[in-house]
Amino acid sequence: MAFLMLAASVVLVSAAAQTPLRWEPSEPSVVASAQVSPASQRPAPAQSAAPAPRPRTMPLAQGFDVRVFEAMAQEIVANQRVPGLAMAIVHDGKVLSARGYGITDVQAAEPVDAHTVFRLASLSKAFAGTVTGMLVAEGALRWDSNVYDFMPSLRFSDPNAARDLTVADVLSHRVGLTRNTYDRDIERNADYRDLVQKLAYAPMTCAPGDCYSYQNVAFSLVGDVVFAATGQFFSEAVTSRIFKPLGMNDASYGLDGITASARWARPHVRAGGGWRSLMPKPTYYRVAPAAGINASISDMAQWMIAQGGHRPDVIPAPLLATLHAPLIDTPSEIRGSSWRRERLNSAGYGLGWRVYDYAGHRVVFHGGAVQGYRGLMAMVPERDLGVVVLWNSESSLPSGLFPTILDRAIGLPARRWLDVDLSEDALYSAVEPRGHQPTGRRVSASRSAAANAIAEATPR
């Protein structure tokens, strides 16, 4: 699979005149990096007001069974290897599984369920890209609008950078600053407004649009743009345009939002041989577009259904095509964990989403992490599959669910990405019994029921 090169000759006259970006598997593997400035000459995301037909999708690979993954999740929380997690799997616009495992707090244990709220951290960025795209579709702003027009006091160390920076540059981490500029100041409880003023003194590595460098403070400039364009606070815009229409009834913004939830998962850090629960830090909540959302796995299942194109009344297909198209190459993403090294051929960043070539298959992805919380979400468009995993600890163990589920969905030769003590034949064999079909049946949290589910999926 390959990334789509954005044509440098695109000239945007209005939001309605924009045309959708599309994934072209036959093209060479290349990502547009917007090497031309000023901003008016750089390629920008394109979007069309015309409806786009839903692409045909392939069925899930034979033997894909959510009961096996539910059993894996249950094993992960056994003996508090991690305190708690929640997982959702959606396919063809339907929820196959959305449930919780383990407990919310080791000091005051309550079971995690489908409505337990977790902190999303950087999974919030996709919401920022989507709500901005809604405003582009309405004509309130453009992807190539200059941020300076909405924030005339914005300054960078390069005198021309503020005037050249576009909305799309912000959402795709092409601001030109060094990686994670002022994140350490966020950790030290610095105020967001003060950090925006300090951007005038931050070193830059390139002109806006010319290179990728992940940001939280600079990414959150999009919140100021949304406010200037609509008069709504950013959190209000996301709530009214995304949470409410999609029925994300547990979702909220900020520290007050999570602590007011009927049931929420406390963050956990390692303490000796176990876990210690904490109160969530307020720090990254101060950069709300980058990391401000709280949500349950029930909420996230609806989010994945909408991002998969099944809620065109809220998020139209042309907008999704734009959001999920890579704008800049991110080669560092193919290093790190074992599944990245083995499965990823290339990686890019779109508008609040990462886009991977996962063993020749397009995957739209994002991860998130703050103190005591981790999460990941991914979609495989060719299979119309969405997966979300949230957990309330700093363990990396649950992340192995992601490549395990993707490999099964696509039909790749299995690898042991996940350290669980279930039947190896069941979990890692690439051969499945004839006629075994994907199922959404739930399996009991008990070990015996999990064993039954594994046994049913074991090759014979």
Determine which of 44-53, 96-105, 270-279, 361-370 has the lowest per-residue pLDDT on average: 44-53
Residue 447 pLDDT class (50, 70, 90 cuts): very low
Domain-located, residue 194: no
pLDDT of residue 44: 66
Strands, E assignment, 209-323? 252-253, 268-271, 274-277, 293-296
Strands, E assignment, 381-455? 385-391
Per-residue pLDDT tens over the stretch 172-227: 999 999 999 999 999 999 999 999 999 999 999 999 999 999 999 999 999 999 99
The dihedral sign for the CA sequence 54, 57, 60, 62: positive
Domain-located, residue 152: no
Residue 42 pLDDT class (50, 70, 90 cuts): low
Torsion of CA 55, 59, 64, 67, to 10 degrees: 70
Say if residue 43's pLDDT is above 90: no
Domain-located, residue 35: no
Name which residue leads in pLDDT, 449 or 189: 189
How is residue 132 written in tokens?
Answer: 């901005």
By residue range, what is the domain housing residue 364?
Answer: 66-122+252-457
Residue 41 pLDDT class (50, 70, 90 cuts): low
Cα angle 150-153-155, degrees, rounded to a multiple of 5: 110
Per the structure, the count of domains in the chain is: 1
Eight-state DSSP code of residue 177:
B
Q: What is the mean pLDDT of residues 145-161?
A: 97
Domain-located, residue 51: no
Using an 8 Å Cβ cutoff, are 64 and 438 in contact?
A: yes
Q: How confident is the prediction for the chain on average, in pLDDT?
A: 85
Q: What is the mean pLDDT of residues 404-419?
A: 94
Domain-located, residue 363: yes
Q: Which CATH number do you get for residue 81?
A: 3.40.710.10
pLDDT of residue 55: 64
pLDDT of residue 236: 98
pLDDT of residue 54: 59
pLDDT of residue 305: 98
Local structure of 179: helix, strand or coil: coil
- Return the percentage of the chain with pLDDT > 70, whole number: 80
Name which residue leads in pLDDT, 137 or 460: 137
Q: What is the mean pLDDT of residues 349-370?
A: 98
pLDDT of residue 198: 98
Domain-located, residue 247: no
Domain-located, residue 289: yes
pLDDT of residue 40: 46
Q: Which residues contact 125 (CB under 8 A, 6 or more apart)?
A: 171, 219, 289, 290, 291, 352, 353, 366
The answer to whether the predicted template modeling score (pTM) of the entire model surpasses 0.75 is: yes
Say if residue 430's pLDDT is above 50: no
Q: What is the mean pLDDT of residues 257-278?
A: 96
pLDDT of residue 420: 78
Determine which of 10-19, 182-191, 276-285, 342-351 has the lowest per-residue pLDDT on average: 10-19
Domain-located, residue 284: yes
Local structure of 417: helix, strand or coil: coil
